[in-house]
Amino acid sequence: MPKHARFPLLISIFGFAMATAVPLAGAEPEERAGAVHGRGGAALTLVGPALVVGQPAPPSTGLRDKGLQPAAIAWNDGTVRIVTTAPSLDTPTCSKQARAFSERAAKLEGIAIIFISRDLPFAQGRFCAAEGIAGITVLSDYYDGSFARAWGLFIKELGLDARACVVIDGTGIVRYVQIVADLPQEPDYDAVLAAAKSLQKK
């Protein structure tokens, strides 16, 4: 190859490297080591920015419904919501969590409950049918975990969603956050419901 022909190639390669390197340099996700603990007390890392009470709820990007279709949620439509996340319905604690919110949903008026895990929608459907889960919306974060990452609830070591409960008011503002520090434990249901009920219009 003639010497003069090498320069465009080098410039092209250098330009490509710069174009790919710049975005990656500023794309490091926020991580909170030891934010939660798994079985045996193992420290686990949550990926993504921490939710802040008083700030708008992050987008619902990445969620899928039972038909594998994107499930977009408008947080500011006037509905008070409880968003509860869990690692997998194929575990005792997560299944208890889903049943507990399903049972409580029947006694709530004007409050929507959304249950999210990384189980495939098909598995979620089978579980709900077998357990008689009703009154709550069950969605999946299986596709790429982007929902949990946006909400700061993605467990780095497990590739699963953390166990958490978030209350969002009708304008889309986060009003209560409960991240269960000990993963094998259930949420404090009474505290979550009290926070949601306090936002209902009198």
128 belongs to the catalytic site: no
This prediction's pTM: 0.85
Which residues lie closer than 8 Å to 96 by C-beta, 6 or more apart? 186
One digit per residue, the tens of pLDDT, for the chain of length 202 reads: 444 444 333 333 333 333 333 333 455 679 999 999 999 999 999 999 999 999 999 999 899 999 999 998 999 999 999 999 999 999 999 999 999 999 999 889 899 999 999 999 999 999 999 999 999 999 999 999 999 999 999 999 999 999 999 999 999 999 999 999 999 999 999 999 999 999 986 4
Beta bridge partner(s), residue 83: 114, 166
Catalytic residue among 83, 94, 174, 192: 94
